[in-house]
Amino acid sequence: MKQFFHEVILKTKGTGLYDFTDFTKDFVHKNKLVNGILNLNVLHTSASLIIQENADPDVLYDLNNFFKKLVPMDNKLYKHNTEGKDDMPAHIKSALTNSHLTLSVKEGKVTLGTWQGLYLFEHRIESQTRIISHHFIGQ
């Protein structure tokens, strides 16, 4: 059994979805990982990891837009409002989505459907540096 750890670092520029599929595939390829579990965690509580459609950019726009309307950036709605109008909505959006993804690697390939991509979902307005922990256990 082998284990590999790696951190993918993404710079974000505002709310929305950022495709990092290629970084994950590179990690698998460079380390010649064959079969095993690949566990991803975003080390922040105002961004998420999700799997989404990688074909039409409108899907990403609509997703971001839906969450924007569902969780309004309105300080009057929240007690926690000292870190900016986007901070508490960011925590809520993080709870509504996911902070980790557990993927399978089979015969050197990440198990994903044809239309599935890996996305960091940024919930903050200002530019951020986001760490996505990658951890492989297997052969």
Tell which positions 47-76 bind a second copy, by CB under 8 A: 50-53, 56, 58-59, 61-63, 66-67, 70-71
Q: What is the rounded distance in angstroms from the CA atom of residue 104 to the CA atom of residue 13?
A: 30
Q: For strand 109-110 and strand 36-42, is the pairing parallel, antiparallel, or unpaired?
A: unpaired
Determine which residue in the list 31, 43, 74, 127 makes contact with a second copy, applying CB under 8 A.
43
45: contact with a second copy by CB under 8 A: yes
CB 130 within 8 A of CB 122: yes
Q: How far apart are CA 46 and CA 121, in angstroms?
A: 9
Angstrom distance (rounded) from CA 52 to CA 31: 25
Q: Which of these segments, 8-16, 19-27, 36-44, binds a second copy (CB under 8 A)?
A: 36-44
**Could you give the string, one character per residue 94-133, with x where binding to a second copy holds by CB under 8 A and - elsewhere?**
xxxxxxxxxxx-x----xxxxxx----x---------x-x
CA–CA dist 121, 99 (Å, integer):
10
Binding site for a second copy (CB under 8 A): 1, 3, 5, 35-37, 39, 41-45, 50-53, 56, 58-59, 61-63, 66-67, 70-71, 77-80, 88, 91-92, 94-104, 106, 111-116, 121, 131, 133, 135, 137-139
